Amino acid sequence: MAQRIQFSQHGGPEVLQLVEFDPAPPAAQQVRVRNHAVGVNFIDTYFRSGLYAPPSLPSGAGTEGAGVVEAVGEGVSRLKVGDRVAYATGPLGAYADVHTLPEANLVKLPDSISFEQAAAVMLKGLTVQYLLKQTYAVQPGDVILFHAAAGGVGSLACQWASALGAKVIGTVSSAEKAERAKSLGAWATIDYSRENVVERVLDLTDGKKVPVVYDGVGADTWLTSLDCLQPRGLMVSFGNASGAVSGVNLGILSQKGSLYVTRPTLATHANNAQNTQAMADDLFAVIASGKVKVDIQQRYPLSEAAKAQTELSARRTVGSTILLP
Protein backbone atom coordinates (compact mmCIF):
# COMPACT_ATOMS: atom_id res chain seq x y z
CA MET A 1 0.00 0.00 0.00
CA ALA A 2 1.01 3.61 -0.59
CA GLN A 3 -0.28 7.00 0.48
CA ARG A 4 -1.49 9.97 -1.52
CA ILE A 5 -3.34 13.24 -1.12
CA GLN A 6 -6.70 13.45 -2.86
CA PHE A 7 -9.87 15.58 -2.85
CA SER A 8 -13.46 14.45 -3.42
CA GLN A 9 -14.98 17.92 -3.77
CA HIS A 10 -13.78 21.38 -4.71
CA GLY A 11 -13.03 23.87 -1.98
CA GLY A 12 -10.28 25.20 0.25
CA PRO A 13 -7.21 23.33 1.50
CA GLU A 14 -9.40 21.51 4.01
CA VAL A 15 -10.75 19.24 1.23
CA LEU A 16 -7.32 17.62 0.83
CA GLN A 17 -7.20 14.19 2.47
CA LEU A 18 -4.40 11.69 3.04
CA VAL A 19 -5.55 8.24 1.93
CA GLU A 20 -4.02 4.82 1.35
CA PHE A 21 -4.15 3.21 -2.09
CA ASP A 22 -2.84 0.14 -3.89
CA PRO A 23 -0.75 1.28 -6.88
CA ALA A 24 -1.70 -0.52 -10.08
CA PRO A 25 0.99 -1.86 -12.42
CA PRO A 26 1.86 0.68 -15.11
CA ALA A 27 -0.06 0.25 -18.37
CA ALA A 28 1.52 0.37 -21.82
CA GLN A 29 3.78 3.41 -22.32
CA GLN A 30 3.49 4.23 -18.59
CA VAL A 31 6.12 4.46 -15.84
CA ARG A 32 5.67 4.24 -12.08
CA VAL A 33 7.92 6.55 -10.09
CA ARG A 34 8.83 6.26 -6.42
CA ASN A 35 8.76 9.92 -5.43
CA HIS A 36 11.61 11.32 -3.36
CA ALA A 37 10.26 14.89 -3.41
CA VAL A 38 7.14 16.62 -4.73
CA GLY A 39 6.65 20.21 -5.83
CA VAL A 40 3.87 22.52 -4.59
CA ASN A 41 2.59 25.15 -7.02
CA PHE A 42 -0.22 27.64 -7.48
CA ILE A 43 -1.71 25.53 -10.26
CA ASP A 44 -2.37 22.82 -7.66
CA THR A 45 -4.76 25.18 -5.88
CA TYR A 46 -6.58 25.93 -9.14
CA PHE A 47 -7.50 22.25 -9.56
CA ARG A 48 -8.46 21.92 -5.90
CA SER A 49 -10.68 25.04 -5.94
CA GLY A 50 -12.36 24.16 -9.24
CA LEU A 51 -10.89 27.00 -11.30
CA TYR A 52 -9.38 24.22 -13.40
CA ALA A 53 -11.52 21.10 -13.42
CA PRO A 54 -9.79 17.75 -12.85
CA PRO A 55 -10.76 14.87 -15.14
CA SER A 56 -12.96 13.34 -12.40
CA LEU A 57 -13.52 13.27 -8.65
CA PRO A 58 -12.09 12.03 -6.39
CA SER A 59 -8.83 13.33 -7.81
CA GLY A 60 -5.19 13.20 -6.91
CA ALA A 61 -3.28 16.46 -6.46
CA GLY A 62 -0.08 17.91 -7.84
CA THR A 63 1.74 17.62 -11.15
CA GLU A 64 5.43 17.85 -10.24
CA GLY A 65 7.92 15.55 -8.62
CA ALA A 66 11.20 13.67 -8.81
CA GLY A 67 12.26 10.18 -7.93
CA VAL A 68 13.34 6.80 -9.23
CA VAL A 69 11.65 4.58 -11.82
CA GLU A 70 10.11 1.66 -9.95
CA ALA A 71 8.28 -0.14 -12.75
CA VAL A 72 7.67 0.27 -16.49
CA GLY A 73 4.82 -0.78 -18.73
CA GLU A 74 4.90 -2.47 -22.11
CA GLY A 75 6.47 -0.40 -24.87
CA VAL A 76 8.54 1.85 -22.60
CA SER A 77 11.89 2.30 -24.34
CA ARG A 78 13.52 5.51 -23.11
CA LEU A 79 13.53 4.71 -19.38
CA LYS A 80 14.33 1.69 -17.23
CA VAL A 81 13.92 0.67 -13.60
CA GLY A 82 16.38 2.56 -11.42
CA ASP A 83 16.62 5.69 -13.61
CA ARG A 84 16.52 9.07 -11.88
CA VAL A 85 13.65 11.09 -13.35
CA ALA A 86 11.60 14.23 -12.87
CA TYR A 87 8.29 15.51 -14.21
CA ALA A 88 6.15 18.64 -14.21
CA THR A 89 3.18 18.31 -16.54
CA GLY A 90 1.08 15.77 -14.72
CA PRO A 91 -1.25 13.96 -14.79
CA LEU A 92 -2.60 14.89 -11.37
CA GLY A 93 -1.44 12.67 -8.53
CA ALA A 94 2.10 13.76 -7.71
CA TYR A 95 1.23 14.32 -4.04
CA ALA A 96 1.94 10.65 -3.30
CA ASP A 97 4.54 8.05 -2.39
CA VAL A 98 4.36 6.72 -5.95
CA HIS A 99 2.96 8.18 -9.15
CA THR A 100 2.26 6.53 -12.48
CA LEU A 101 2.44 8.66 -15.60
CA PRO A 102 3.20 8.48 -19.33
CA GLU A 103 6.84 7.94 -20.24
CA ALA A 104 6.65 10.99 -22.52
CA ASN A 105 6.01 13.25 -19.49
CA LEU A 106 9.24 12.25 -17.74
CA VAL A 107 12.72 13.64 -18.20
CA LYS A 108 16.01 12.04 -17.25
CA LEU A 109 17.56 13.72 -14.24
CA PRO A 110 21.35 14.20 -14.23
CA ASP A 111 23.30 13.32 -11.10
CA SER A 112 24.23 17.00 -10.71
CA ILE A 113 20.60 17.87 -9.80
CA SER A 114 19.16 16.50 -6.55
CA PHE A 115 15.63 15.13 -6.22
CA GLU A 116 14.66 18.07 -4.00
CA GLN A 117 16.06 20.58 -6.48
CA ALA A 118 14.21 18.94 -9.36
CA ALA A 119 10.90 18.77 -7.50
CA ALA A 120 11.27 22.40 -6.51
CA VAL A 121 12.24 23.67 -9.94
CA MET A 122 10.72 21.58 -12.72
CA LEU A 123 7.36 23.28 -13.15
CA LYS A 124 8.57 26.77 -12.31
CA GLY A 125 11.86 26.34 -14.17
CA LEU A 126 10.30 24.98 -17.35
CA THR A 127 7.80 27.83 -17.13
CA VAL A 128 10.61 30.37 -16.92
CA GLN A 129 12.37 28.63 -19.79
CA TYR A 130 9.47 29.05 -22.19
CA LEU A 131 8.68 32.56 -20.92
CA LEU A 132 12.19 33.93 -21.40
CA LYS A 133 13.34 31.80 -24.33
CA GLN A 134 10.18 31.12 -26.37
CA THR A 135 7.25 33.42 -25.55
CA TYR A 136 9.46 36.51 -25.70
CA ALA A 137 13.12 35.90 -26.44
CA VAL A 138 14.83 38.10 -23.87
CA GLN A 139 17.87 39.91 -25.24
CA PRO A 140 20.81 41.63 -23.51
CA GLY A 141 19.80 45.14 -22.53
CA ASP A 142 16.05 44.48 -22.45
CA VAL A 143 14.20 46.04 -19.53
CA ILE A 144 11.37 43.72 -18.53
CA LEU A 145 8.68 43.78 -15.83
CA PHE A 146 8.09 40.61 -13.82
CA HIS A 147 5.33 40.48 -11.22
CA ALA A 148 5.80 38.63 -7.90
CA ALA A 149 9.56 38.70 -8.35
CA ALA A 150 10.26 37.08 -4.98
CA GLY A 151 7.93 34.13 -5.51
CA GLY A 152 8.77 30.70 -6.85
CA VAL A 153 8.66 31.56 -10.56
CA GLY A 154 9.90 35.11 -10.03
CA SER A 155 12.92 33.98 -8.02
CA LEU A 156 14.08 31.86 -10.94
CA ALA A 157 13.13 34.45 -13.57
CA CYS A 158 15.17 37.20 -11.90
CA GLN A 159 18.27 35.02 -11.96
CA TRP A 160 17.82 33.62 -15.45
CA ALA A 161 16.86 36.92 -17.09
CA SER A 162 19.80 38.61 -15.42
CA ALA A 163 22.09 35.86 -16.75
CA LEU A 164 20.70 36.60 -20.23
CA GLY A 165 21.72 40.25 -19.83
CA ALA A 166 18.28 41.73 -19.20
CA LYS A 167 17.33 44.28 -16.56
CA VAL A 168 14.45 42.97 -14.44
CA ILE A 169 12.00 45.31 -12.75
CA GLY A 170 10.27 43.12 -10.18
CA THR A 171 7.09 43.87 -8.28
CA VAL A 172 6.95 42.74 -4.65
CA SER A 173 4.68 43.15 -1.63
CA SER A 174 7.18 44.09 1.08
CA ALA A 175 10.61 45.53 1.77
CA GLU A 176 11.85 42.04 2.69
CA LYS A 177 10.73 40.63 -0.66
CA ALA A 178 12.28 43.59 -2.45
CA GLU A 179 15.61 42.79 -0.82
CA ARG A 180 15.25 39.16 -1.82
CA ALA A 181 14.45 39.97 -5.46
CA LYS A 182 17.46 42.27 -5.70
CA SER A 183 19.70 39.60 -4.21
CA LEU A 184 18.53 37.29 -7.00
CA GLY A 185 19.42 39.71 -9.77
CA ALA A 186 16.52 42.13 -10.09
CA TRP A 187 17.75 45.47 -11.43
CA ALA A 188 14.99 47.37 -9.60
CA THR A 189 11.96 46.53 -7.49
CA ILE A 190 8.55 48.13 -6.96
CA ASP A 191 6.67 47.56 -3.71
CA TYR A 192 3.08 47.63 -4.95
CA SER A 193 1.77 47.89 -1.38
CA ARG A 194 3.06 51.45 -1.17
CA GLU A 195 4.22 52.50 -4.64
CA ASN A 196 2.39 53.19 -7.91
CA VAL A 197 3.68 50.54 -10.30
CA VAL A 198 2.99 52.44 -13.52
CA GLU A 199 4.59 55.64 -12.26
CA ARG A 200 7.67 53.77 -11.07
CA VAL A 201 8.03 51.93 -14.39
CA LEU A 202 7.84 55.27 -16.23
CA ASP A 203 10.50 56.69 -13.91
CA LEU A 204 12.82 53.69 -14.20
CA THR A 205 12.59 53.60 -18.01
CA ASP A 206 12.76 57.36 -18.61
CA GLY A 207 9.20 57.27 -19.88
CA LYS A 208 9.77 54.49 -22.41
CA LYS A 209 7.94 51.73 -20.49
CA VAL A 210 8.82 48.06 -21.18
CA PRO A 211 8.51 45.77 -24.22
CA VAL A 212 7.13 42.84 -22.21
CA VAL A 213 5.33 42.23 -18.92
CA TYR A 214 5.29 38.78 -17.36
CA ASP A 215 2.17 38.54 -15.19
CA GLY A 216 1.35 35.46 -13.14
CA VAL A 217 -0.88 37.39 -10.73
CA GLY A 218 -3.92 37.74 -12.98
CA ALA A 219 -6.99 39.85 -12.25
CA ASP A 220 -5.43 42.28 -9.76
CA THR A 221 -2.62 43.39 -12.06
CA TRP A 222 -4.19 43.13 -15.53
CA LEU A 223 -4.77 46.85 -16.19
CA THR A 224 -1.58 47.90 -14.42
CA SER A 225 0.41 45.55 -16.62
CA LEU A 226 -1.11 46.94 -19.81
CA ASP A 227 -0.26 50.49 -18.70
CA CYS A 228 3.41 49.52 -18.27
CA LEU A 229 3.83 48.37 -21.88
CA GLN A 230 5.37 50.22 -24.78
CA PRO A 231 3.28 50.56 -27.96
CA ARG A 232 3.08 47.09 -29.59
CA GLY A 233 4.42 45.57 -26.39
CA LEU A 234 3.62 42.04 -25.27
CA MET A 235 1.49 41.20 -22.25
CA VAL A 236 2.28 37.66 -21.08
CA SER A 237 -0.48 36.51 -18.73
CA PHE A 238 0.70 33.13 -17.47
CA GLY A 239 -1.05 32.69 -14.12
CA ASN A 240 -4.06 33.52 -11.95
CA ALA A 241 -2.74 33.92 -8.40
CA SER A 242 -5.33 36.65 -7.69
CA GLY A 243 -8.05 35.17 -9.90
CA ALA A 244 -8.58 34.74 -13.62
CA VAL A 245 -8.66 37.69 -16.02
CA SER A 246 -12.16 37.84 -17.50
CA GLY A 247 -14.56 40.17 -19.31
CA VAL A 248 -11.80 41.73 -21.42
CA ASN A 249 -12.79 44.16 -24.18
CA LEU A 250 -10.16 43.72 -26.90
CA GLY A 251 -10.54 47.39 -27.78
CA ILE A 252 -8.46 48.22 -24.72
CA LEU A 253 -5.42 46.79 -26.53
CA SER A 254 -5.72 49.37 -29.31
CA GLN A 255 -6.39 52.18 -26.84
CA LYS A 256 -3.21 51.41 -24.93
CA GLY A 257 -0.91 51.12 -27.94
CA SER A 258 -1.72 48.23 -30.31
CA LEU A 259 -0.67 45.79 -27.62
CA TYR A 260 -0.25 42.05 -27.97
CA VAL A 261 -1.53 39.58 -25.36
CA THR A 262 -0.79 35.90 -24.93
CA ARG A 263 -1.95 33.35 -22.38
CA PRO A 264 0.68 30.60 -22.69
CA THR A 265 0.80 27.31 -20.81
CA LEU A 266 3.57 24.85 -20.12
CA ALA A 267 1.53 22.01 -21.62
CA THR A 268 1.63 23.52 -25.11
CA HIS A 269 5.40 24.00 -24.94
CA ALA A 270 6.38 20.75 -23.21
CA ASN A 271 4.04 18.87 -25.56
CA ASN A 272 6.20 15.84 -26.35
CA ALA A 273 9.16 13.96 -24.90
CA GLN A 274 11.72 15.65 -27.14
CA ASN A 275 10.61 19.21 -26.36
CA THR A 276 10.25 18.52 -22.65
CA GLN A 277 13.72 16.96 -22.35
CA ALA A 278 15.28 19.81 -24.36
CA MET A 279 13.67 22.43 -22.11
CA ALA A 280 14.72 20.50 -19.01
CA ASP A 281 18.29 20.16 -20.28
CA ASP A 282 18.42 23.94 -20.76
CA LEU A 283 17.14 24.39 -17.21
CA PHE A 284 19.53 21.85 -15.68
CA ALA A 285 22.48 23.43 -17.53
CA VAL A 286 21.81 26.92 -16.19
CA ILE A 287 21.46 25.48 -12.66
CA ALA A 288 24.67 23.47 -13.01
CA SER A 289 26.47 26.62 -14.20
CA GLY A 290 25.61 28.35 -10.94
CA LYS A 291 23.81 31.19 -12.71
CA VAL A 292 20.47 30.01 -11.32
CA LYS A 293 20.19 28.68 -7.79
CA VAL A 294 17.25 26.64 -6.52
CA ASP A 295 16.03 28.11 -3.25
CA ILE A 296 13.86 25.75 -1.21
CA GLN A 297 12.49 27.72 1.71
CA GLN A 298 9.62 25.44 2.79
CA ARG A 299 9.59 21.67 3.30
CA TYR A 300 6.54 19.78 4.56
CA PRO A 301 5.76 16.09 5.06
CA LEU A 302 3.20 14.74 2.58
CA SER A 303 0.57 14.68 5.33
CA GLU A 304 0.78 18.49 5.64
CA ALA A 305 -0.11 19.25 2.03
CA ALA A 306 -3.09 21.36 3.11
CA LYS A 307 -0.86 23.54 5.27
CA ALA A 308 1.61 23.95 2.41
CA GLN A 309 -1.16 25.12 0.05
CA THR A 310 -2.58 27.46 2.71
CA GLU A 311 0.76 29.19 3.15
CA LEU A 312 1.30 29.41 -0.60
CA SER A 313 -2.14 30.92 -1.28
CA ALA A 314 -1.66 33.47 1.51
CA ARG A 315 1.62 34.56 -0.12
CA ARG A 316 3.51 33.79 3.08
CA THR A 317 6.12 31.75 1.22
CA VAL A 318 9.29 32.74 -0.61
CA GLY A 319 11.22 30.64 -3.05
CA SER A 320 10.03 27.07 -3.53
CA THR A 321 7.92 24.71 -1.44
CA ILE A 322 8.19 20.91 -1.54
CA LEU A 323 6.54 17.91 0.06
CA LEU A 324 8.58 14.95 1.29
CA PRO A 325 6.79 11.58 1.03
- CATH at 94: 3.90.180.10
pTM: 0.90
Classify residue 82: in a domain, yes or no: yes
Domain shared by 254 and 279, yes or no = no
Secondary structure E strands in the chain: 2-7, 17-21, 30-40, 59-60, 65-72, 84-87, 98-102, 106-108, 143-146, 167-172, 188-191, 210-215, 229-237, 260-262, 296-301, 320-324
Task: Provide the pLDDT for residue 244.
Answer: 82
Domain shared by 179 and 114, yes or no = no
Task: Provide the pLDDT for residue 19.
Answer: 98
Residues of the chain with pLDDT under 50: none
Task: Provide the pLDDT for residue 240.
Answer: 79
Domain shared by 8 and 112, yes or no = yes
Domain shared by 145 and 250, yes or no = yes
Residues 182, 164: Cα–Cα separation, whole Å: 16
User: Is the peptide bond between 102 and the residue preceding it cis, with omega within 30 degrees of 0?
Assistant: no
Domain shared by 226 and 295, yes or no = no
SS3 87: strand
Task: Provide the pLDDT for residue 299.
Answer: 97
Task: Provide the pLDDT for residue 177.
Answer: 92
| Residue span of the structural domain in which 318 resides | 2-121+271-324
Per DSSP, helices labelled H in the chain are 42-49, 115-130, 152-163, 175-183, 197-204, 222-227, 251-255, 273-288, 305-313
Classify residue 239: in a domain, yes or no: yes
pLDDT digits (tens, 9 = 90+) for 142-188: 999 999 998 889 999 999 999 999 999 999 999 999 999 999 999 99
Domain shared by 50 and 70, yes or no = yes
Task: Provide the pLDDT for residue 285.
Answer: 97
Classify residue 275: in a domain, yes or no: yes
Classify residue 134: in a domain, yes or no: no
Number of domains in the chain: 2
Task: Provide the pLDDT for residue 246.
Answer: 85
Task: Provide the pLDDT for residue 282.
Answer: 98
